[in-house]
Amino acid sequence: MNNTDITLSWVLKEQTEEAHKALEAVLVRKIKSLKTKEEYEHLLHKIYGFHNPMEQWFDKYLDNDIVPSYSKRRRSDLILKDLANLGNDNDLIPLTNDLPHIDSLAKALGAFYVLEGSTNGGTIVANMFINYARMTPETTSFFYAYGDDRSLWKSFKDQIDTYTAESDFSDEMVAAANETFEKFRAWMLK
């Protein structure tokens, strides 16, 4: 690939691979170890505790013009729906305050890349919960948010590829994505 073919989405994927794999290892281990409804609820609490505060930060920098269908991509409410369908009252969900530092559009997009990218494996995770942990589609809507539809992921990548891959903007995005992977991993280990 020559320099004119390099896209920002490719740079993000390449330069965050290590942090991505570290988070994925923690999440896969937690998912595979789930045996009870209460353990599943605890996992949903942990994910909500990171996603919800991140969405509050994203709202300061992102909208439907900057990220196509942005309002549809906010998924923390789906976690509350899943918890309610499990019979959980959602009163005491701990939220982390150890979040990536987001103070620019580039950093918001970099952090958003991490949370939005998680939808790619969501259907696999939802099916694991349904098949092995006896959950139902009504309790896995967060993971099955887009189903098998990859168009939202593609439209997000197309949007970030409108920015130049070799720039300070790109560097900020990559740094924020790596920090988001790392902070999310640390939160999931607590």
Set out the domains of the chain in order of their start, with CATH numbers: 6-89+111-189 (1.20.910.10)
pLDDT at 3 over 80: no
Mean pLDDT, to the nearest integer, of 117-134?
87
Mean pLDDT, to the nearest integer, of 106-125?
94
pLDDT of 128 reads 84
pLDDT of 4 reads 63
Q: pLDDT confidence of 130, banded at 50, 70, 90?
A: confident
How large a percentage of the chain has pLDDT more than 90? 79
pLDDT of 1 reads 52
> Hey, what's the torsion of the CAs at 117, 154, 53, 50, to 10 degrees?
-10
- The CA distance from 153 to 69, in Å, is 11
| Chain segment 55-102, per-residue pLDDT in tens | 999 999 999 999 999 999 999 999 999 999 999 877 789 999 999 999
Spell out a b/e string for 83-108, using b for 16 or more CB atoms within 10 Å of the CB, else e: beebebebeebeebeebbebeebbbb
Mean pLDDT, to the nearest integer, of 148-155?
92
pLDDT at 166 over 60: yes
